[in-house]
Structure 1
Amino acid sequence: MIEIKNIKKSFGEKTILQDISAVMEAGKCNLIIGASGSGKTVLTKCMVGLFKPDEGEIIYDKQNMLSMSDDERKQLRQQIGMLFQGSALFDSMTVEQNVMFPLDMFSNLSYKDRKKKADEVLDKVALKEAHKKFPAEISGGMKKRVGIARAIVLNPKYLFCDEPNSGLDPQTSLLIDKLIKDITTEYKITTTVITHDMNSVMEIGDHIVYMHQGKKQWEGSNKDIIYSKDKLLNDFIFASDFLQDAKEMRMMQEKGEIEKNDERL
């Protein structure tokens, strides 16, 4: 679990985060959503220690990261997995070598054991057959899966995903969402996802924080969104007439006003 309390952050005279508080729960996909410039990326960078908040606390399982010693913070970072927006794979390394990289840096395992562990997580993301390929030889969706394998190879307690579906087709995006959800649930990871993908919001949004102009505007689950009356949230999530109609029909379905097999759905 990660708890953020009253986080404030400014750059010069420009205030980016205004008194943000939320709890990212273990074993759940916690999504941070909002328009560009809403502060979600700055908040995430504060959470992982890349930025220091001007005020507030960031608590990892009852330990305040901001008051940790350098050694304690280093140990914490070894429990954090990162899936970057562009996957950030090393072009000169094979898929297997990319996944082994965190083990090379932070573990004392033998080469044989590091290789075995890398192959295990590649098998987990259904990529064991691609372990000798280079990033240029695989698709965008496969690169994302390699990125996920690398992010979980050290058995992290916390996982951060930055736009995991960026640049992917809808079908591949659904596969990535399912993979992130399954890994989160199986290993009881505290997963935080920054996303603009509304399919992800509705598919895996166990807990959602919607940010608007540096403030937490709304908080709830993907089921709560259907009934939300927050205009800013609804304008963001259900931006088109089609999606607004879909929301209204889903509400009617949940209330029993139309049948679940109604052809309009």
Structure 2
Amino acid sequence: MIELQDIKKGFGDKQVLKGVSATMEAGKVNLIIGASGSGKTVLMKCIVGLITADSGKVLYNNQDFTAMNEQDKKSIRQEIGMLFQGSALFDSMTVEQNVMFPLDMFGVGSYREKKKRVLECLDRVNLKDAARKYPAEISGGMKKRVGIARAIVLNPKYLFCDEPNSGLDPQTSLLIDKLIKELTLEYNITTVINTHDMNTVMESGDHIIYMFEGLKQWEGSNEEIIFAKDERLNDFIFASDFLRDAKEMRQMEIFRDKNWRDRLKKPE
């Protein structure tokens, strides 16, 4: 798991993160949501070490990442997979070469071993036949799947996804959500997703952190979010009449489930 302890970060006179504490749970899809400017992107960058927090701790499996030297940080980074918003594929490399890139960077295995692992990952995302194609020759949804294959090629313990559905049509977005969820469960990964996509929130959000003006405003699951009383959260999630109607329908659906009613009655 990943534990955040009182993370603070500012740029000049602007305090972006004002003391965020949370736990990202293993084997679950953990979401960071919030309006633009809420601090969610800066928080994710602090977690992976792209930005150094001004204060606070980031613990990977109880190891203090913020206090590590560069060599120790490298060993943690080798356990991290990253899916970037724009897929971030190298145009001059084939799909196969793009997925192999992390193995080359960390010097993992012989060429034959790397090739075998790459084809396994491409097969897992249903892209084995696209191995020799270039990014310009494949669709946006396929690029995302290549990005996912590259993110899991090192068998990561932690998977970070920045807006994985950005620029995709609704049907492809559903497929990407389903794939990330399956991989999270299959490999017991601690998955952290930064998203605006409400379908991801409602269908994949095992554990959700809602950010507002640099603070953690609300925390819970996608079932709990349906019954949440936080006004800021509800204004953000259920902003339209359509979504408010969908919320009421989901409430009725969930409340008919006796097991869920029993969980509501029992304190955790």
TM-score, structure 1 normalization: 0.95
Residue matched to 1:263: none
Amino acid at match of 1:61: N
Q: Displacement, 1:255?
A: 3.4
* Partner in structure 2 of residue 14 of structure 1: 14
Query: Which whole-Å CA distance do the structure 2 matches of 1:149 and 1:254 have between them?
Result: 34
1:63 alignment counterpart? 63
Question: Match for residue 39 of structure 1?
Answer: 39
- In the TM superposition, residue 108 of structure 1 has moved relative to its aligned partner by 3.6
SS at match of 2:26: coil
Query: Aligned with 1:23: secondary structure?
Result: strand
Partner of 1:219: 219
TM-score (norm 2): 0.94
Partner-residue secondary structure (3-state), 2:36: coil
Paired position in structure 1 for 2:228: 228
1:109-120, aligned counterparts within 5 Å?
Answer: 109-120=109-120
Partner of 1:104: 104
Distance 1:87 1:145 in 2: 9
Larger displacement relative to structure 2 (65-74 or 86-95): 65-74
Tell me the distance in 2 between the aligned counterparts of 1:87 and 1:161: 10
1:160 equivalent in structure 2: 160
CA distance in 2, matches of 1:89, 1:112: 22
Deviation at 1:109, TM superposition (A): 1.2
Give the distance between the partners of 2:62 and 2:19, measured in 1 at CA.
Answer: 20
DSSP 3-state at the match of 2:10:
strand
Structure 2 distance, partners of 1:66, 1:246, is 42
1:32-181 equivalences under 5 Å are 32-181=32-181
Structure 2: distance between partners of 1:204 and 1:255: 19
Cα distance between partner residues in 2 of 1:126 and 1:3: 33
Shift of 1:112: 1.1
Quote the residue 2:261 is aligned against: none
SS in 1 for 2:100: helix
Q: Counterpart of 1:240 in structure 2: which amino acid?
A: S
SS at match of 1:165: coil
Measured on the aligned residues, the alpha-carbon RMSD in Å equals 1.1
2:198 corresponds in structure 1 to 198
Q: Distance in 1 between matches of 2:118 and 2:211?
A: 36
2:154 & 2:180 partners in 1: Cα distance? 16
Tell me which amino acid in the other structure corresponds to 1:72: D
Q: CA deviation at 1:139?
A: 0.2
* Whole-Å separation in 2 of the counterparts to 1:162 and 1:151: 12
In 2, Cα distance between equivalents of 1:108 and 1:18: 39
1:85 and 1:122 map into 2 onto residues whose CA distance is 19
Deviations 1:136-164 (A, max 9, x none): 00000000000000000001111100000
Find the residue that maps to 2:223 and give its secondary structure.
Answer: helix
Gaps (5+ residues) in structure 1?
A: 257-265
Aligned residues: 257
Question: Could you tell me how far 1:67 is from its partner in structure 2?
Answer: 1.0
Which contiguous aligned blocks of 4+ residues in structure 1 show a shift greater than 6 angstroms? none
2:188 is matched with 188
Counterpart amino acid of 1:7? Answer: I
Shift of 1:252: 3.0
Could you tell me how far 1:250 is from its partner in structure 2?
2.3
1:228-254, Cα deviation, whole Å (9 max, x unpaired): 111111111111011112212322343
